[in-house]
Amino acid sequence: MTAIYIKIHDEIKRQIETGVYTVGQRLPSERVMSEKFGVSRMTLRQAVTSLVEEGILSRYVGSGTYVASDRVREKMRGTTSFTEIIKNLGKTPSSKVISYQKTKANEVECDKLGLKKGAQIIRMERIRYADDLPICYEVASIPHRLIADFAKDDIANHFYDTLAAAGKKIGRSEQIISAKIVNKEIASFLSVKPNSAILALTQVSCFANSEETPFEYVLSQYVGDRFEFYLER
């Protein structure tokens, strides 16, 4: 069953795409929008926050939430897995799966993964560690048809190695990195204080085939003082 905030997320995104809200336009207040959708402000805030993370909306303290202009996106050739990065640092990677379910892709997942409406995905929520220190919280969405023959453990703990063993070559990824404030629930997962600053990463990874088929859509939240990104030109 699709979470209510995801349905609201999809509807707001649809309204932006159809011109109900235009670039630079301020959205109505949380009170007005929560009443419009018939949900609590907390649920509405979850939907808006997910759109901010994806770069569709921009939030300004004391001013409001606006439809964002196009963001600069750095497309990188060659995708490196979290496991590989941590191993290369001489640390031991591990993961804790919080949820793992087969479900219908929502509108955003269909768009990012090039799926038809109603397509099945595996949506996996997990915490990633380096030497038992929590580094990031992530929600990964993977087309079910691509991994139907793989065991859950192979997906949850060494996904990229599993793909490589099956003859799949990993290609480019498209990433958007932004700063945000962590909420109370995810702060507890990452062992940081609520409202701490963290780095949010939205990533779509593709196979190195002629179609550059997307195989994974991930929303991650990294502890800023435990992990850093750099761009090599």
| Same domain membership, residue 82 and residue 56 | no
| Same domain membership, residue 120 and residue 199 | yes
CATH code at 219?
3.40.1410.10
Which pLDDT value is given to residue 69? 60
Contacts of 185 (CB under 8 A, 6+ apart): none
Domain end marker among 40, 67, 94: 67
**DSSP state, 206?**
E
Task: Say if residues 104 and 203 touch (Cβ distance below 8 Å).
Answer: no
Domain count, the chain: 2
| Same domain membership, residue 187 and residue 88 | yes
| Same domain membership, residue 185 and residue 90 | yes
Q: Is 131 a residue whose pLDDT tops 70?
A: yes
Domain end marker among 35, 67, 99: 67
Residue 228 lies in a domain: no
Q: Dump pLDDT digits (tens) for 52-111.
A: 877 788 888 788 899 876 443 333 344 567 887 788 778 899 999 999 999 999 989 999
**3-state DSSP helix/strand/coil percent for the chain, to nearest 5?**
30, 35, 35
Which pLDDT value is given to residue 72? 33
Q: Is 129 a residue whose pLDDT tops 90?
A: yes
Domain membership of residue 105 as a residue range: 74-223
Domain end marker among 33, 50, 67: 67
Q: Dump pLDDT digits (tens) for 200-227.
A: 889 999 999 888 999 999 999 999 878 7
| pTM (two decimals) | 0.67
Secondary structure, 3-state, 54-86: CCCEEEECCCEEEECCCCCCEEECCCCCHHHHH
Task: Say if residues 26 and 13 touch (Cβ distance below 8 Å).
Answer: no
